[in-house]
Chain A
Amino acid sequence: MSDETSPETAESFQPRIVAFFCNWCTYTASDLAGVSRMVYPPNTRVIRIMCSGRLDPQFVLSAFRQGADGVLIGGCHPGDCHYQEGNYKCLRRIELLKSLLDQMGIEPDRLRLEWISASEGDVLRDVTHDMVAKIKELGPLHLEPVPQPDAQPAMAGDEGA
């Protein structure tokens, strides 16, 4: 879609990325990145969830609907889930969700799942850099607004036409 209404140019575009991080691994990794003074772009808005398996696909759609240009999900490495299998459940859902997004005209690359353990602050930094760069390439996401009855023009006086 064209970008006529947005004041942003391609150069100034700063992606909004909603990041859902698992409490036990990736959220702790982001703490580590912070206390280690690692530098990475401020484009992610982090939401802590107890497990990547808690991530309802509705959260992802809701993030896109509310203006996210990308969604990043961070969970524990396979085999390391605090709840045994939550990260695998997330993996199964994300696979299917990506093909759904594709059908709806949203590039699957706007949704990214990464396994980042509590000790991998540097991986978190690199993934964030990379994701911001990729979303900048893709450009802003403009969803068609959902119509509301109030937004419709009044039909008064049209009777008998």
Chain B
Amino acid sequence: MSKPKVGFYWCASCGGCEEAVVDLAETILTVVELVDIVFWPCAMDFKRSDVEAMADGEMAVCFINGAIRTSEQREMVELCRRKSGLVVAFGSCSHMGGIPGLANLKSREGILQSSYGDGVFSTVNPEGTLPRTETKRPEGILELPSLDECVKTLGQVVEVDYYLPGCPPPVKLIVEAVMAIVEGKLPPKGAVLAPDIAMCHDCPRVDSKPDEPFLKEFKRPHEILIDPEKCLLAQGLLCLGPATRNGCDHACINGNMPCTGCMGPVSHVRDQGAAALSALASLAASNDAEEITQMMKKIPDPAGTFYRYGVPASMLFMNIDPDGNGGA
């Protein structure tokens, strides 16, 4: 029996997910023994034409990381989808939009202006040149992919069979996913390949997590010396553990930093940000409207805090009026 063929592709991502594959270290030798890597532009020399030459469904599985924002990314994931039996959304960006998904808080025009506008940051662009899909040169016409109006998750562009969460996905989960695919022991389609329990469930600090509202003030990590033993919520930090899926072995918490939610929600939560907001706001130990308002002001960026990895996956999907004129 020939080995199953596997592809890796990347879209709007930082390369950290590819790094996670390399982090498999010597385990990757086991993986390579079990599968044939037939497409991995980041690490090996494959071209789009190699994928086009494949029969439909020829790849057993394609792992795709990164969010989708350009015409090229859309074309490539649609191509990969057609050529693959299974598509796995790999990492927070393809799962929920990830850090690139925060761009949905701003308009496309606003983003182009802050990147290419004259006088912004260190940009010198007196002619106001913006990226164009076509540029005429004496040698011919140069083409660039177009930039979509908003960032989408992989599942909003093509059908996704499984999701491997995390920023980047933990090595343990990658290995488990590959083994499950090779052995054909897969859960129902659409599943997130990680434990379906919240981060707090087996957090090493859970014993010091208070049951009752207790917070007089929300804190930011730079404002305090963080106790490495005590529950981070008990210290006033915005730890998203109560609303985040387990599976990372508490990487951030063990590094003495609060969970930021990259693993996404557990299966019975539709909207991770709303769940996190609900959990954390109710910890405020105040019954006075004015005092509560003041406390909540210590959370200056709720969207970036509670949807750090998931604006496109949220129920609201994007800021409907990025220029601040209201929704009307």
Contacts of B284 in A (CB 8 A): 92
Say whether, besides A105-B319, A143-B317, A144-B320, A138 and B327 are in contact (CB < 8 Å). Answer: yes
- Provide the A56-98 mask, 1 if CB < 8 A to any CB of B, else 0: 1110111011000000000000100000010011011101110
Tell me which of A16-24, A41-49, A121-129, A146-154 binds B.
A146-154
Question: Is A142 touching B302 in the complex (CB atoms < 8 A)?
Answer: no
Closest A-chain residue to B148, C-beta based? A147
Contacts of A147 in B (CB 8 A): 152, 156-157
Contacts of B318 in A (CB 8 A): 104, 144
Say whether, besides A65-B315, A149-B159, A93 and B320 are in contact (CB < 8 Å). Answer: no
CB distance from B223 to the nearest CB of A (A): 19
CB distance from A141 to the nearest CB of B (A): 5
Contact of A92 among B152, B158, B282, B303 (CB under 8 A): B282
23 contacts between A and B (CB under 8 A): A56-B275, A56-B278, A57-B274, A57-B275, A57-B277, A58-B269, A58-B270, A58-B275, A58-B278, A64-B316, A65-B315, A89-B282, A93-B277, A100-B273, A104-B316, A105-B327, A140-B328, A142-B320, A146-B156, A149-B157, A152-B74, A155-B74, A159-B79
| A92 to B74 CA separation, bound complex (whole angstroms) | 41
- Provide the A97-108 mask, 1 if CB < 8 A to any CB of B, else 0: 101100111110
Closest B-chain residue to A98, C-beta based? B296
Given contact pairs A58-B271, A92-B292, A143-B320, a sample of 19 additional A-B residue pairs in the complex whose CB atoms are under 8 Å apart: A1-B328, A62-B315, A91-B292, A92-B296, A95-B281, A96-B277, A97-B281, A99-B299, A100-B277, A100-B303, A103-B319, A104-B320, A138-B328, A139-B327, A141-B327, A141-B328, A147-B157, A149-B155, A152-B157
Q: B140 within 8 Å of A by Cβ?
A: no
Question: Is A97 touching B277 in the complex (CB atoms < 8 A)?
Answer: yes
| A160 to B79 CA separation, bound complex (whole angstroms) | 11
Question: Is B302 touching A103 in the complex (CB atoms < 8 A)?
Answer: yes
Of residues A60, A96, A139, which shows the largest number of chain B Cβ atoms within 10 Å of its Cβ? A96
CB distance from A96 to the nearest CB of B (A): 4
Contacts of A91 in B (CB 8 A): 287, 289, 292
Q: A158 within 8 Å of B by Cβ?
A: yes
| A110 to B150 CA separation, bound complex (whole angstroms) | 24
**Which residues of A are in contact with B by a Cβ distance under 8 Å?**
1, 56-58, 60-62, 64-65, 78, 85, 88-89, 91-93, 95-97, 99-100, 103-107, 110, 138-149, 152, 155, 158-160
Say whether, besides A93-B281, A96-B302, A155-B75, A105 and B273 are in contact (CB < 8 Å). Answer: no
Contact of B156 among A62, A96, A149 (CB under 8 A): A149
Closest B-chain residue to A60, C-beta based? B274
Question: Is B326 touching A138 in the complex (CB atoms < 8 A)?
Answer: yes
Closest A-chain residue to B294, C-beta based? A95
Question: Is A146 touching B317 in the complex (CB atoms < 8 A)?
Answer: yes
Contacts of A97 in B (CB 8 A): 274, 277, 281
| A57 to B316 CA separation, bound complex (whole angstroms) | 12
| A105 to B273 CA separation, bound complex (whole angstroms) | 16
Q: Which 5 A-B pairs have the closest CB atoms?
A: A105-B321, A139-B328, A103-B303, A57-B274, A100-B302
Question: Is A61 touching B289 in the complex (CB atoms < 8 A)?
Answer: no
Contacts of B328 in A (CB 8 A): 1, 107, 138-141
Question: Is B317 touching A144 in the complex (CB atoms < 8 A)?
Answer: yes
Q: B135 within 8 Å of A by Cβ?
A: no
Contacts of A107 in B (CB 8 A): 326-328
| A113 to B316 CA separation, bound complex (whole angstroms) | 20
Contacts of A152 in B (CB 8 A): 74, 78, 157-158
Contacts of B156 in A (CB 8 A): 146-149
| A95 to B124 CA separation, bound complex (whole angstroms) | 42
Q: B306 within 8 Å of A by Cβ?
A: yes
Question: Is A85 touching B287 in the complex (CB atoms < 8 A)?
Answer: yes
| A95 to B277 CA separation, bound complex (whole angstroms) | 10
| A139 to B328 CA separation, bound complex (whole angstroms) | 5
CB distance from A23 to the nearest CB of B (A): 20
Contact of A106 among B270, B289, B316 (CB under 8 A): B316
| A146 to B270 CA separation, bound complex (whole angstroms) | 14
- Provide the B237-250 mask, 1 if CB < 8 A to any CB of A, else 0: 00000000000000
